[in-house]
Amino acid sequence: MSNRDKIMNYLRTRKEGKYCDDCLSSILKIYPRQQINQICRNLLDMGYIRREKGLCSNCSKYKIVNFLETPDDIISSEKILQSSDKMLEQRLAQGKRSHHKAFEYRVSEYLQNKFGLRFYEQNMQIGPDKYHNFDLVSEDRAIVVECKSYTWTESGNFPSAKISTAVEAVFYLSRIKAKRKILVFQDNFNSRGESLVDMFVRRYDGVLDDIEVWAYHAEGSPEKDHVRIVRTSKDNWYEKIYRG
């Protein structure tokens, strides 16, 4: 487990706690202490934790403390059970969105819990002299994931220009061999209640072939996150052409 994972896991299990760098270093046995400072500043920049002056829950000293950001849109388990999937997604999407890197890290935690494998950013060959750095690849290279995070335009229109990077990711995924290829979106809803992920699949389903598309919404912890599989893997249409 990386030092970043140790810090996040510790803060997650103590949601009401706030801890200074010195105490995190001592409790988690991460030395030198400067590592804590560097990692926590990085997590702050990604929007994953809060870091401000306050009372440390361990040493009771007034110092710079680190603690989990708790979005206002987290819904209690009782309310979740009373909501339909669609309503739940819309309510979650109305709250605070994660920075892209924080979103990617959260998805990696979810995938690790789901598949029991570690996921890393990894370069893979997509052509004779061409490589692409995929966001998350399982340690056995059987699962390859690209993470995307877009919002509707201010006027509620489909963000075609930004979506071009997702279409590019589809092309790269089509150039590799993997047991599962997954395109994960941090979903967003416009004023009409339309899901950006649903719209993407409707527009590009014909070229997605063996790529799964997920709509992802973070809750209190990765194991409780809400994932909707918008599209399942299908046959490669272009491979049939070559075989025929």
Interval 14-65: pLDDT, tens? 878 999 999 999 999 999 888 999 888 888 766 678 888 889 999 999 999 9
Cβ atoms of 47 and 80 closer than 8 Å: no
Q: How many structural domains comprise the chain?
A: 2
pLDDT bracket for residue 96 (50, 70, 90): low
pLDDT value of position 81: 34
Q: Say if residue 27 is in the same domain as residue 129.
A: no
Please tell me what DSSP assigns to residue 222.
Answer: G
pLDDT value of position 213: 97
Chosen domain end from 68, 85, 117: 68
Encode 87-112: b = buried (16+ Cβ within 10 Å), e = exposed: ebbbbbbeeebbebbbbbbbbbbbbb
Q: Say if residue 46 is in the same domain as residue 110.
A: no
Q: Say if residue 133 is in the same domain as residue 173.
A: yes
Query: Tokens 């103590």 appear where?
Result: 14
pLDDT bracket for residue 77 (50, 70, 90): very low
Q: Say if residue 143 is in the same domain as residue 120.
A: yes
Average pLDDT over residues 165-186: 95
Share of the chain above pLDDT 70, in %: 83
pLDDT value of position 202: 94
Question: Across the chain, what does the average pLDDT equal?
Answer: 83
Task: Judge whether residue 99 has pLDDT over 70.
Answer: yes
Q: Say if residue 111 is in the same domain as residue 53.
A: no
Share of the chain above pLDDT 90, in %: 51
Q: How far apart are CA 223 and CA 77, in angstroms?
A: 13
Average pLDDT over residues 219-227: 77
Chosen domain end from 45, 68, 91: 68
Task: Judge whether residue 91 has pLDDT over 60.
Answer: no
For 109-168, what is each residue's pLDDT tens digit? 899 989 999 999 999 999 999 999 999 999 999 999 999 999 999 888 999 999 999 999
CATH classification at residue 124? 3.40.1350
Q: How far apart are CA 66 and CA 199, in angstroms?
A: 38
Measured N-to-C along each axis, helices 196-208 and 160-174 cross at an angle, to the nearest 10 degrees, of 40
Side chain identity, residue 214: W
Q: Say if residue 31 is in the same domain as residue 137.
A: no
Burial of 174 (0-12, 13-18, 19+ CB in 10 A): middle
Cβ atoms of 122 and 133 closer than 8 Å: yes
Distance of CA 186 to the CA centre of its chain: 7
Q: Which domain holds residue 43?
A: 3-68
